[in-house]
Amino acid sequence: MLGKERQVEKMSTQSVRTRVGKYELGRTLGEGTFAKVKSARNTVTGEDVAIKIINKEKILKHKMVKQIKREISTMKLIKHPNVVQLYEVMASKTNIYIVLEFVTGGELFDKIFRQGKLKEDEARKYFQQLINAVDYCHSRQVYHRDLKPENLLLDAEENLKVSDFGLSALPQQFREDGLLHTTCGTPNYVAPEVLNDKGYQGATADLWSCGVILYVLMAGYLPFDEQNLMTLYKKIHKADFTCPAWFSSGARKLISRILEPNPQKRITIREILENDWFKKGYKPARFSEEGSINLDDIDAVFDDRLENLVKEEKETKPVTMNAFELISRSQGLNLSNLFEKQKGLAKRETRFTSKHPAKEIISKIEETAKPLGFNIEKKNYKMKLQGEKSGRKGHLSVATEVFEVAPALFMVEVRKAGGDTLEFHKFYNNLSTGIKDIVWKSEVNMGDKSVPQE
C-alpha cells in the first residue's frame, strides 16, 4: 500500500482525452504564440499524425488570416516525399486544425548539435534531398524563405522532410516588378539581396539558404555568425567566409558558387543537378503526381456555418497500463536506459529519470532555473519556465512535466515551448548541472556524471 504522502503524489488514474472529428489528441509536441502542435491518432485507421491547432480569435485579432490561408495553400500544393505532408484541414467554432504527417526523427538541427559536423557522404545525402524538395516547390512557384536546419525534419528512415511554410511566398505576393519585397527568415541563413530591401527572386534566395545549410552540415558551425547584426550583414554581403580544411575540393567549389553574393551569378538548381560532387550517389525522388488540387476548403475553415465545423469532444477514460508499468513488476530490470536517446516523441525535447519524490523534482528544477533568469508558473506536476531576456527568436519558453511510470520511478520531460533551439540546448546543459543530484543513475552508468540526454 502507498503511504499518505505517496497517495498524494500518485498521478491520477484517469485522463481527459480530447477528440476532434475522427482524431484523438495526444501530447503537445510544440507551442508558439498563435498555435500549438499535438500528436494525434486517427481512430478509423490507427495512423499517427500531428495536428497544428490555431486559435481563431488570436489570428483574427492580429489580422493573420491571409498568412494562415497562405500556409495551408502552400502545403496543399506540395506533394513530395521530402516535404511534410498535409492530410486535411478542419475547423471548430474556436480552432483551425491542420492535420499533418507525423515525422518521428526530430530536427536535423538536433542531429548536428549532438553529433557536430557530419561525414561528407551523409551531408551530401541530406543536401540532395533538400535540393529535390526545393526544386519541386519552385516548380510549383512556392518559395520557402526560411530554410534552416530547425525547419528540416528527419523521418524514421533518416530521410529529410522540409517543414514550416509560415513564411512561404506564393505567386500572388510578387509585386509588379516580379520580385518579393518582404525581409524575412533567420539572419544567418538569409541571402544578401533579401537584406538589401530592393526586391529579390524567391528561388535564388532559397538557394543561398541551401548553401548555408550544406556548409553547416559539413562544418558543424555557421559560415556567417556574428553577435553584432551590422557586422553579420557586412560579412553576408561580401560572402566573407572560409571553408574548413576537411572540405573536399568539390564541396568547396559548389558552396562557393551557391554563396555567391550576386544573385545573377549564383549557380542555379539545374546546374547543381549537373554538378559532379552533387551527383555522387544521387537518387532522384520517386513519387506519383496527383491530379488537380482543390483549395476551396481553405475558405471553409474560416466559415462558421455548422456544416463546415467539426465537434470537439472531451471524454474521461482510464489511463492504459503502459510498458513501463508492466516492466516494473519484474524484478531486476533496469528502466533508466529506456529514456536515453529515444526517437520520435517530439522535436526539441529531452528526458531523464529520477527516484526522488515528484515534489522534490519540481522544487529542484525551480531552484535551478530561477538563477538562470526564468520566471516560473506551476500547476500540479507541470511547470512553464519563461526567460526574462529576449533571445534570437524572442523569449525562451521551456515546459516541464513529471510522469510516474512505476512505483518510486519518475520520468521528467523537458521541452522547448518557444524561442531558439540553440538557446534551449544551452539552457538544458546548465539545468543538467543543477539537477544532477536527483537524476537516477543505474549501475551501468554510475561512472557517467552527466544527465541522460536525447
- Is residue 162 located within the same domain as residue 179? yes
191: nearest Cα among 138, 237, 252: 237
Rounded to whole angstroms, the Cα distance separating 207 from 145 reads 10
Residue 239 lies in a domain: yes
- Is residue 135 located within the same domain as residue 70? no
- Is residue 97 located within the same domain as residue 217? no
Query: Which of 252, 279, 306 marks a domain boundary?
Result: 279
> Which CATH number belongs to the domain containing residue 231 in this structure?
1.10.510.10
Is 146 considered catalytic here?
Answer: yes
User: Is 76 one of the annotated binding-site residues?
Assistant: no
Residue 286 lies in a domain: no
Query: Which of 52, 78, 102 marks a domain boundary?
Result: 102
Domain count, the chain: 3
Sequential pLDDT tens for the chain (454 residues) = 444 444 434 444 445 678 888 898 888 877 766 678 888 899 888 898 988 888 888 877 777 777 777 777 777 778 889 998 888 888 888 888 888 888 888 788 888 887 888 999 999 999 999 999 999 988 888 888 788 888 888 988 899 999 876 433 333 333 343 333 344 446 888 888 888 777 678 889 999 999 999 999 999 999 998 888 889 889 999 999 999 999 999 999 999 999 999 999 999 999 999 999 999 999 888 877 665 566 666 666 666 665 567 777 766 544 333 554 444 434 344 443 344 333 333 346 778 888 888 888 988 999 999 999 999 888 777 888 888 887 767 788 888 888 877 777 888 888 888 788 778 888 888 888 888 888 876 433 333 333 333 3
Residue 298 lies in a domain: no
CA angle in degrees (0–180, nearest 5) for 166-169-173: 130
> Which CATH number belongs to the domain containing residue 376 in this structure?
3.30.310.80
Q: Determine phi and psi for 217, rounding to 5 degrees.
A: -60, -40
Residue 71 lies in a domain: yes
From the list 110, 135, 146, 155, the catalytic residue is: 146
- Is residue 214 located within the same domain as residue 151? yes
- Is residue 251 located within the same domain as residue 230? yes
- Is residue 339 located within the same domain as residue 402? yes
Query: Which of 48, 71, 102 marks a domain boundary?
Result: 102
Q: Which residues contact 79 (CB under 8 A, 6 or more apart)?
A: 85, 287, 289, 290, 293
Specify burial of residue 298 (Cβ count, 10 A radius: 0-12, 13-18, 19+).
Answer: middle
First and final CA of the chain: distance in angstroms? Answer: 34
- Is residue 53 located within the same domain as residue 179? no
Residue 13 lies in a domain: no
* Confidence (pTM): 0.65
- Is residue 185 located within the same domain as residue 254? yes
Residue 359 lies in a domain: yes
> Which CATH number belongs to the domain containing residue 70 in this structure?
3.30.200.20
List Cα–Cα distances, 388 to 376, 394, 414, in angstroms.
10, 10, 18
Size (the chain), residues: 454
- Is residue 220 located within the same domain as residue 355? no
Residue 292 lies in a domain: no
- Is residue 143 located within the same domain as residue 248? yes
Structural domain boundaries, residue 122: 108-279
- Is residue 118 located within the same domain as residue 226? yes
Residue 297 lies in a domain: no
- Is residue 377 located within the same domain as residue 240? no
